[in-house]
Amino acid sequence: MATDLKHRKLGYADYERIPPDGKRHEILDGELYVTPAPAPLHQRLSKRLQRQLEAYFESRGLAEVFNAPVDLILGEHDIVQPDLLGVADPAQVTSRAIEKAPLLVVEVLSPSTRALDRAVKMRRYAELGIRHYWILDPEIVRLECLRLDAGVYRAVAEASAPDQLRLPEWPELVIDLAALSR
């Protein structure tokens, strides 16, 4: 299968045939990306941010928050497992995955995913219409919030611990960055 994967654009059927090996497998624009499982610090910050997002989005009925590993199928040749995502439309939650662009995707950077998250994923997420893309850097506990504007992500807010982050789109949402690193 490995030789076959290198010579054509991959799709969901190929993704389903990948044997489980403890790594994260994603297909972006038909190309396979394999990264190691996240480190404990990555998971700790992701979990703590998830709790804050759930408290805001779910308590108001705005979106349901999911964490990795959960498949996000953005199209035949784009299957990813973002660290966190917020789904506003319940119809996007199917028996196999989250399908189509969610309201929000959050990627927590790792040494093995930093370039992928900031380049390939950012480009594909914009092309596929994900309105909000946030990047959390655990090394400096910095959250960068981007919003899609005319097909390109533009920064709308960013902050580092110990500060709090507020967003123009959701003024009542306050992300306590100090709480992420405690």
The tokens describing 42, both together, are: 């990555």
Q: What is the pLDDT of residue 104?
A: 98
Looking at the chain, the whole-number percentage of residues with pLDDT higher than 70 is 96
CATH number, domain containing residue 50:
3.90.1570.10
Q: What is the pLDDT of residue 182?
A: 77
Give residue-wise pLDDT tens across range 64-83. 999 999 999 999 999 999 99
Q: What is the pLDDT of residue 6?
A: 57
pLDDT at 31 over 80: yes
Looking at the chain, the whole-number percentage of residues with pLDDT higher than 90 is 92
Q: Which domain holds residue 140?
A: 38-181
| Inter-residue contact 66 to 84 (CB < 8 Å) | yes
Q: What is the pLDDT of residue 7?
A: 67
In a domain, 1, yes or no: no
The number of domains in the chain is 1
pLDDT at 133 over 80: yes
* Burial class (CB within 10 angstroms; exposed 0-12, middle 13-18, buried 19+) of 31: middle
Measured from the Cβ of residue 133, the count of other Cβ atoms closer than 10 Å reads 21
In a domain, 175, yes or no: yes
* The 3-state secondary structure of 95-121, one letter per residue: CCCEECCCCEEEEECCCCCHHHHHCHH
